[in-house]
Chain A
Amino acid sequence: MDCSKVRELSVDLQRGTLAAEPDGEARAHLLTCAACRAHAEAERALSDALEAKLPRFAAPIGLQRRLAAGWPASGSTARAPRRLWTRGRGIAAAAALSTALAVVVGGTTAVVVQDHADARRVTEEAVNDHLRMLGGAPLAQVTGGLHEVKPWFGGKLDFAPTVGFAGNSDFPLQGGAVEPFLDRRAAVFVYKRRLHTASLFVVPADGLTFPATVRAQTIHGFSLALWRSGEQGYALVSDLSLPELLDLQKLIASP
């Protein structure tokens, strides 16, 4: 098997989907060809990067509500639909996901209870909002640090965000913003770490599911930490590794 054929089969080889004979021939070639080994390793690195780091967008909660409201119940006959789903219409008729959402999958009905649905929408909102920040949402200038950012929030928010970490050489503070977060406004603090961006969203926690102690997870390739302190909920999102994100979280949460 020559180099061009081995490279053509590289992804299939990586995924183990080749038949025994070509699989064996390709592996034998890789043992003797450094250039093809480098190619195969680059292919594997690309697969890993795409799977772990490429943002995956979850359907916004409002869209899910509109779809659920216009969709027939399982067991009923599909019929030609009316166009009920244009944004802004039919929302009043939508069953609120915050109370309970009946999801019909494969003939069984699972009820996603309130806490689960709330936690999911907070995590997905945080990741979606972080992507919006990466997409170029405007930031307030903060050459003077936190004491310039906090007054900037005055008049834009109906609460005073409690954040004491003004950034340091490892995690410099880049700026602040006010962005929608579900049904309320969030104070956003943006920190950097090398080429990475971390967005901290601070909102009044009332009515949302923020854990009393820090809960960290990865979602759609992003690291996320959620916690609650007093009356405020905190969501910290970045493509930093989870340990590095938690380093930043400790700095932010320390009194």
Chain B
Amino acid sequence: MSSTDRGGASEVVSGALGHADALYNLARWLARDPIEAEDLVQETFTRALAAAHQFEAGSNLKAWLFRILRNAYLDSRRRSKTEAAELQVENVDDIGPAVETVDESQAAQIRAVVADEIAQAVRALPEIWRTVVILDLEGLTESEMASVLGCAEGTVKSRLSRARAVLRERLAPHRP
């Protein structure tokens, strides 16, 4: 093992537990229930320890752990035939409001929503958009999100923009 490897592994060992809350939060927005979310987090830590030597010292540990968690989530879904089929057809990147109409009342409507309403709106997003919204709230850059999702930065930007447009529309529907 090189000194770089040891440094990366050491960072994983010393820092990963500090991200348990953030990982569990993402898991709750992905999983069907709290039990599945706990399993996902535990699987993430198992995989992280096994792959600790691959972590590049000095890079973003939280983003690295998010990537492991999301891969674990996708693996669990693929094990289910039905859900694997759903994953294959869930190509949402072409979906989105065609022409956005915004008026001055929309901001006020959004400011009036309660936690339950915004939670439902986020929960109703397609998984890939929901993930981008949560990662953005966690403070990841577009580059880091792209690394988590295995896509280009431009794709991340587009998904985040579309997800936010759908959220605005759901929380403050335009009334012509």
A interface list, Cβ under 8 A from B: 7-8, 11, 34-35, 38-39, 41-46, 48-51, 53-60, 63-64, 66-68, 70-81, 83, 85-87, 103-107, 134, 195-197, 221-222, 239
Contacts and interface: CB of A to CB of B under 8 A. Distances in A.
A49 B111 CA distance: 6
A55 B102 contact: no
B167 interface: yes
Contacts, number: 154
A63 B49 contact: no
Contacts of A196: 114
A53 to B, nearest CB: 4
Nearest to A35: B102
A35 B113 CA distance: 22
Interface stretch (B39-47, B68-76, B145-153): B39-47
Contacts of B110: 42, 45-46, 49
Interface in B21-53: 21, 23-25, 28, 34-35, 37-39, 41-42, 45-46, 49-50, 52-53
Main secondary structure of the interface of B (DSSP, over half): helix
B13 A195 contact: no
A50 B14 contact: no
B122 interface: yes
A54 B167 contact: no
A42 B168 contact: yes
A27 to B, nearest CB: 18
Given A35-B102, A77-B9, A78-B9, A57 B38 contact: no
Given A54-B119, A63-B38, A68-B17, A78 B52 contact: yes
Given A77-B9, A78-B52, A105-B15, A39 B42 contact: no
Interface pairs A-B: 5 shortest CB-CB: A78-B52, A239-B115, A59-B24, A45-B110, A45-B107
Given A59-B24, A239-B115, A50 B53 contact: no
6 contacts: A8-B161, A49-B113, A51-B137, A54-B115, A57-B25, A63-B42
B116 to A, nearest CB: 5
Contact of B53 (A74, A78, A81, A197): A78
Contact of B41 (A53, A54, A67, A83): A67
B17 A222 contact: no
A54 B118 contact: yes
B21 A59 contact: yes
B44 to A, nearest CB: 10
B94 interface: no
Contacts of A77: 6, 9
Interface residues on B, range: 35 or more
Contacts of B132: none
B65 to A, nearest CB: 12
Contacts of B28: 57
Contact of B118 (A7, A53, A103, A195): A53
A63 B34 CA distance: 11
Nearest to B160: A11
A106 B171 contact: no
B107 to A, nearest CB: 4
Contacts of B137: 50-51, 54
A41 B16 contact: no
Most buried by B among A46, A56, A73: A46
A85 B45 contact: yes
A78 B49 contact: yes
B19 to A, nearest CB: 10
A104 B42 contact: no
